[in-house]
Structure 1
Amino acid sequence: MAFTEPLRNCGDFGPGDYEWLHLLVGDWQLISDLAFGDLVLSFPADYIPSAGSGNGRGMPAPGSPFRVLAHVRPATGPTVFHQDMVGELMPEELTGPLRAAWVGRRIELLRAGGDGPATGAQVKIVPLVRNGRTLALLTVHTGRRSGQVTSLQEVVYREAADALLRMANEGLWPDFSAPTGSRRGAPRVGDGAIRIDADDRVAYVSPNAESALRRLGIDGELVGKRLMDVVPPALGPGVEPDETLAPVLSGRTAWRTEVEGARVSVNFRSVPLRDRSGRLGAVLLCRDVTELRRRDLELVSKDATVREIHHRVKNNLQTVSALLRLQARRMTTDEARHGLEQAMRRVATIAMVHETLSQGFSQNVDFDELIERQFRLAAEVAAPEQSVRTRIIGEFGELPTRLATPLALVINELVTNAVEHGLAGRTGTVTLEASRVPDEEGAGQLLEVVVSDDGAGMGAAVIEESGVGAFRRADVGEGLGMQIVRTLVAGELGGSIHWSPRQGGGTEVTVRARLDDQPGP
């Protein structure tokens, strides 16, 4: 359930209000770290809607407590609430000030008393106002500090946090137009922070930020300078800065960019600060992401290597298949030719799986795309002189790569057997059906695959194979294909296989394979 559910239920607010709160909570770690305090989002437990007008000007009921919707702790200092506050009620002594702040829509600063977890903490109440309506309350809880000298870093950070809180109170932050990126290495306050004034000049550089800039080759006093005057020259001759660099380093755009020097990469994020009167400057967060980018490059290289290996294996298997085909043509007996042709089809099936794996980075395989062509090809090759129809029901979905090869081989053998024996010399249909079912314990999923034909059938015989029993010696009349299927189902797929008469005539074979990583039965 979304934390904004209480707002949705009251009927006073719209989708834009919910989304704005989601953006705020998605980025409020920034304020928590700058303020060195816990942030708590709360909403009245008993809310009186705005008499059906839908203008969002409802009020907390008199004496109503406030329930916590979300909670975040600082990474730069100690927490006030050691237990998660979500779902809890705010301390009773805060009920009156919280209601007053909701109604007045103004920021309030107070100290919480009593014996609760927030005892002795300084509490700042920030009404989150948008379009003249209070959506929720944001409270900043900072622990009591006695006998400790306040550092310049703390002063600068708290001033930036206060600016962002005022922007949140006025509905100016977060900004819907600010882009968000998912690339690894997003800088946080603890990675390094730079305070930019309204004239785009550096007012303060944290020690971690100074270290990151020094790795870029920027040394010396930076206070009073513009970063655009020192960062691009440090990148070296011939390096063209990204077009997003200037607006980020000046703090005028809520954006992220990355600069690369000599074997060094630094990520920058700009958080502009402003109020109703104008621009106040910005907080610039930076992080040395050199090792992250090196690992990303290694992962890309490994992925490319794995894909190339699959591609080469596919080529080698296709060569083996071609050699088997040539050898089959030179055979003088039908039995030998048929055996080599079967071996050729099995090798070609494995090659097709490796071809699919060579075309993607995922650990899973889109098995529907893989098996559709293989299914029809297996039916055509097994009996080129017959008219055999094929039908696919259901979807396999994405399967782990460890299941792709054995399952493709099993289906290939079952389809070949259905055409050669079930539909021997006649026209008919082979159907492939896939579905997912819970296992007997209900703790995981099984893939159920049914291959059926409307041919001669197998009489009243029913064969059930699963587990270790599937490795028994072949019965009279059972060929290599049957042995291959049993071995793969029990060993590689960790499942079971069941032959039975098909209703309406013919035979159906049901294979169940485990989809989790647990060992088979």
Structure 2
Amino acid sequence: MLTVRGEGGAMVTVAQCRPNTASTVFPGDEVGRVIGRGADNRVARAFTDGQIHRDEDPTWHGAVAIRREVIPVAHPASPAAGPRGDAAIIGVLIRATDLTHPRLPSPLEMAYQESANDLCQMVADGTFPEKEGNSQGLSTPRAGDGFIRLDLSGVVSYASPNALSAFHRMGWTSELAGRRLTEVTAELLTDRFESEDVAAMVEAAIGPVGSARVPYRDDVGMRMEVDARRATVLLRAVALRPRGAANGAVILIRDVTEVKRRDLALISKDATIREIHHRVKNNLQSVSALLRLQSRRTTNPEAKGALNEAVRRVASIALVHELLSGSVDEEVDLDEVTDRLVPILVDVAGESRVLVRRVDRLGVLPADQAMPLVMVLTELIQNAIEHGVGTGGGEAGTAEARATRIEIHARRDVRELAIEVVDNGTGLPEGFDLSTSDRLGLQIVKTMVSIDLGGTLDMRRGDAGGTQARVVVPLR
């Protein structure tokens, strides 16, 4: 448990750790329990003198006899530190042992307890935790993942079954106890530089601070991921220096082979998907170029118009695939697509009297929603271009009067995205009915909005003339 001092000298428990492989000593939740001033002398003394205190006699909690050890948590860099550099006490750790059912501890428990005693003393000294140089952002292996105790010469004095299993996965076939760990890793690791880095990490952990034999190095990271012949493991070295005297080190090891394989599989899959999008984009652009070439050779106006429509539809799909080829999460920025799509549509239409402006942000959508929505926008913008050129408002004879202005508005919340394409053209013809319209572009829009997007489409005459097309799409 971790206890800190509150207002008025009262102490409160702020954290509690329960064992994973045994029953908990305290059946209730101790977090939030307040210890009044003077109610617990050993906790109060640990706050005052910064020394570790142990109960001489066990304390009974119901039918359970408990012996406590109170460890002060020192922080040399705290603003409350003394003028001589004395560490300030910012809290106390309480270790509780159940004495009701005494038994002979296993070698694993003895190794855990010996290392825990050293670490608790280092907590009281203000030297643990220390800077580990974890610049790679690696996770932390736990003692249950794999535990190795090293003596002052770097020889393994104890290795847990999980640690042995990890080394066997790496290719080691015999016992670890009695072997120098750096020699074992040098034999197993495939990269010589990784082997040298592991040796430097271990030597920095077991060597005395400032020793002429093994100087302590701040540049040596104390967490490392290494590859052996058949496995990948994560290593962490914890130096044991109670009262400033070196007492070996603890090496924690976690087998991350399967995690790395899954990561590599995901990376490979992601790269394959992006390459597919890139090739599809190239093929579609080739098709678009061929259609445009055929359109220029065609003299029939109706055939030329049909080919130009096919060019812009293929170009819009190719543009989405181009953006997906550079995306890592299969999402499309609709604003970027729209801004790049508009010049293509104007160019294919061959009109210089069209002003298209995106007023609001459309945001980012998953690829399965973005693809049909881009097609819908393509058709609506192209429809506004075809039916609005040369009908703008403004004074007669001016460029403004001859220009078609098209604006793209959007409103988005957590539930839906609403897009409006507004133009200043001639407006919808008399008696227009969206449900009975036989225009191919509108049929494409209706199908994609209702079936692919599950949304709604509405087209009506604008208040100041022109046409207003509104698409509402639910967001997932």
TM-score, L = length of structure 1: 0.74
Give, in angstroms, the shift of residue 347 of structure 1: 1.4
Change (3 A) 1:396 1:290: same
Mapped pair 1:195 → 2:149: yes
Aligned match of 2:436? 475
Give, in angstroms, the shift of residue 399 of structure 1: 1.8
Aligned counterparts of 2:26 and 2:408: Cα–Cα separation in 1: 57
Aligned counterparts of 1:72 and 1:313: Cα–Cα separation in 2: 55
Aligned match of 1:24? none
Aligned counterparts of 2:274 and 2:443: Cα–Cα separation in 1: 31
Aligned match of 2:452? 492
Give, in angstroms, the shift of residue 349 of structure 1: 1.0
Mapped pair 1:345 → 2:312: yes
Q: Structure 1: which amino acid aligns with 2:351?
A: E
Aligned match of 1:244? 197
Kindly provide the CA deviation profile for residues 340-392 of structure 1, in whole angstroms up to 9, marking residues without a partner as x: 211221111111111211223213233333332123433x2354323322322
Q: Which runs of 5+ in 1 are unaligned?
A: 1-39, 49-60, 439-444, 464-472, 517-521
Identity of aligned residues (%): 38
Kindly provide the CA deviation profile for residues 272-300 of structure 1, in whole angstroms up to 9, marking residues without a partner as x: 22234233322101122222222222222
Aligned match of 2:214? none
Aligned match of 1:23? none
Kindly provide the CA deviation profile for residues 454-493 of structure 1, in whole angstroms up to 9, marking residues without a partner as x: 3344489998xxxxxxxxx8424x5111121122122222
Mapped pair 1:156 → 2:111: yes
Aligned counterparts of 2:151 and 2:272: Cα–Cα separation in 1: 48
Partners of 1:251 and 1:281 within 8 A in 2: no
Q: Structure 1: which amino acid aligns with 2:33?
A: L
Please show how residues 196-275 of structure 1 align to structure 2 within 5 Å: 196-235=150-189, 239-250=192-203, 252=205, 255-275=222-242
Mapped pair 1:406 → 2:375: no
Change (3 A) 1:447 1:205: same
Change (3 A) 1:359 1:65: same
Mapped pair 1:430 → 2:406: yes
Q: Structure 1: which amino acid aligns with 2:375?
A: L
Kindly provide the CA deviation profile for residues 33-84 of structure 1, in whole angstroms up to 9, marking residues without a partner as x: xxxxxxx33445xx33xxxxxxxxxxxx25x35153x444444544446776
Mapped pair 1:41 → 2:7: no
Change (3 A) 1:399 1:200: same
Aligned residue among 336, 339, 346 for 1:372: 339
Give, in angstroms, the shift of residue 330 of structure 1: 4.0
Aligned counterparts of 1:285 and 1:461: Cα–Cα separation in 2: 78
Partners of 2:312 and 2:348 within 8 A in 1: no
Q: Structure 2: which amino acid aligns with 1:263?
A: R
Q: Structure 2: which amino acid aligns with 1:434?
A: A
Kindly provide the CA deviation profile for residues 215-256 of structure 1, in whole angstroms up to 9, marking residues without a partner as x: 3333444434322222212346x8553552222333525522
Q: Which runs of 5+ in 2 are unaligned?
A: 82-87, 206-219, 392-401
Q: Structure 1: which amino acid aligns with 2:46?
A: A
Aligned counterparts of 1:389 and 1:129: Cα–Cα separation in 2: 69
Kindly provide the CA deviation profile for residues 104-150 of structure 1, in whole angstroms up to 9, marking residues without a partner as x: 4333344554459xx54444433322233333343344555614320
Aligned match of 2:74? 129
Give, in angstroms, the shift of residue 168 of structure 1: 2.8
Aligned residue among 466, 469, 472 for 1:512: 472
Q: Structure 2: which amino acid aligns with 1:66?
A: V
Q: Structure 2: which amino acid aligns with 1:248?
A: M
Give, in angstroms, the shift of residue 90 of structure 1: 5.4
Aligned match of 1:29? none
Q: Structure 1: which amino acid aligns with 2:421?
A: V
Structure number with larger C-alpha Rg: 2
Q: Structure 1: which amino acid aligns with 2:157?
A: A
Partners of 1:248 and 1:270 within 8 A in 2: yes
Task: Tell which deviates more after alignment, 342-351 or 308-317.
Answer: 308-317
Aligned match of 1:303? 270
Q: Structure 2: which amino acid aligns with 1:490?
A: S
Aligned residue among 121, 125, 128 for 1:173: 128
Change (3 A) 1:507 1:182: farther
Q: Structure 2: which amino acid aligns with 1:447?
A: L
Give, in angstroms, the shift of residue 315 of structure 1: 2.2
Aligned counterparts of 2:330 and 2:62: Cα–Cα separation in 1: 53
Aligned match of 1:450? 420
Give, in angstroms, the shift of residue 447 of structure 1: 2.1
Partners of 2:47 and 2:92 within 8 A in 1: yes
Change (3 A) 1:501 1:163: farther
Aligned residue among 108, 119, 125 for 2:53: 108
Aligned match of 1:27? none
Partners of 2:121 and 2:243 within 8 A in 1: no
Give, in angstroms, the shift of residue 423 of structure 1: 4.1
Q: CA-atom RMSD, angstroms?
A: 3.3
Change (3 A) 1:125 1:291: same
Partners of 1:382 and 1:419 within 8 A in 2: no
Q: Secondary structure at the match of 1:280?
A: coil
Partners of 2:308 and 2:348 within 8 A in 1: no
Q: Secondary structure at the match of 2:378?
A: helix
Give, in angstroms, the shift of residue 157 of structure 1: 0.9
Aligned match of 2:247? 280
Aligned counterparts of 1:515 and 1:326: Cα–Cα separation in 2: 39
Aligned counterparts of 2:289 and 2:27: Cα–Cα separation in 1: 68
TM-score, L = length of structure 2: 0.80
Aligned counterparts of 2:274 and 2:405: Cα–Cα separation in 1: 36
Q: Structure 2: which amino acid aligns with 1:450?
A: E
Aligned counterparts of 2:73 and 2:266: Cα–Cα separation in 1: 43
Kindly provide the CA deviation profile for residues 155-185 of structure 1, in whole angstroms up to 9, marking residues without a partner as x: 111222232233333332223453164457x
**Structure 1 residue runs of 4 or more that deviate by more than 6 Å after TM superposition:** 91-94, 459-463
Q: Structure 2: which amino acid aligns with 1:245?
A: V
Change (3 A) 1:147 1:73: closer
